[in-house]
Amino acid sequence: MKDMSIDTIAASRAATVTALSPVARFSLRGRGDAVAALSAALGVELLARVGARAQAGARDVLCLGPDEWMIHAPEGDAAAIINACAGVAAPHALVEVSDRELSYAITGPQAAELLTLGCPRDPDSIAVGEGRRTVFDGATVILWRDGRDAFRMDVWRSFAPHVTHLLATGCRELALG
């Protein structure tokens, strides 16, 4: 998930918000026997704890709910993911949602504080290397914490202007001290 930035939304000495290039996204659902079978087929362990993440190569898989995972992968990997899951007989559901969300990188010394403008949850309750679905200024978002000062935010496409507007406001405001 590196070097995908295409467009800087806002930048200050506090934080930088960057629009990220498209990725392949899948909502993967399943339970029971399917979990191990899907893990084997994808080559990534589907972790059971909400918020936990596992990676294999460029596939990054976040547990969003007890039977729900979000897969991010390079676009060229999409067909392989579909094929891998198609071979699993145990009940499951794979739905491509690549275009449902847009992703933004939120980085900088006050990246976590920037999130507090709209996020009622304590950003520090998301450990580095984990992620969560949560809410930011009324919009459901998925936060991936890639480092102490580095988050990614997935937001449904039509909510993105609203969310990035506040993030940009916050970048300016935090820089004022």
Where on the chain is the footprint of another protein (CB under 8 A)? 22, 27, 29-30, 50-51, 64-68, 91-101, 113, 116-117, 119-122, 124-125, 132-135, 137-140, 156-159, 161-162, 165-166, 169, 172-173, 176
* Nearer of residues 57 and 83 to another protein, judged by Cβ: 83
* Nearer of residues 83 and 140 to another protein, judged by Cβ: 140
Shortest approach of another protein to residue 146 CB, angstroms? Answer: 20
* Nearer of residues 7 and 57 to another protein, judged by Cβ: 7
* Nearer of residues 22 and 54 to another protein, judged by Cβ: 22
* Nearer of residues 66 and 76 to another protein, judged by Cβ: 66
Shortest approach of another protein to residue 58 CB, angstroms? Answer: 20
Shortest approach of another protein to residue 7 CB, angstroms? Answer: 14
The two three-digit tokens of residue 95, written as one number: 């739905």
Shortest approach of another protein to residue 1 CB, angstroms? Answer: 19
Shortest approach of another protein to residue 140 CB, angstroms? Answer: 5
DSSP string covering the chain: --S-EEEEEEE-SS-EEEEEPP-EEEEEEE-THHHHHHHHHHTS----STT-EEEETTEEEEEEETTEEEEEE-GGGHHHHHHHHHT--SSEEEEE-TTTEEEEEEESTTHHHHHTTT-SS-GGGS-TT-EEEEEETTEEEEEEEEETTEEEEEEEGGGHHHHHHHHHHHHHHHHT-
Cβ–Cβ under 8 Å, residues 136 and 123: no
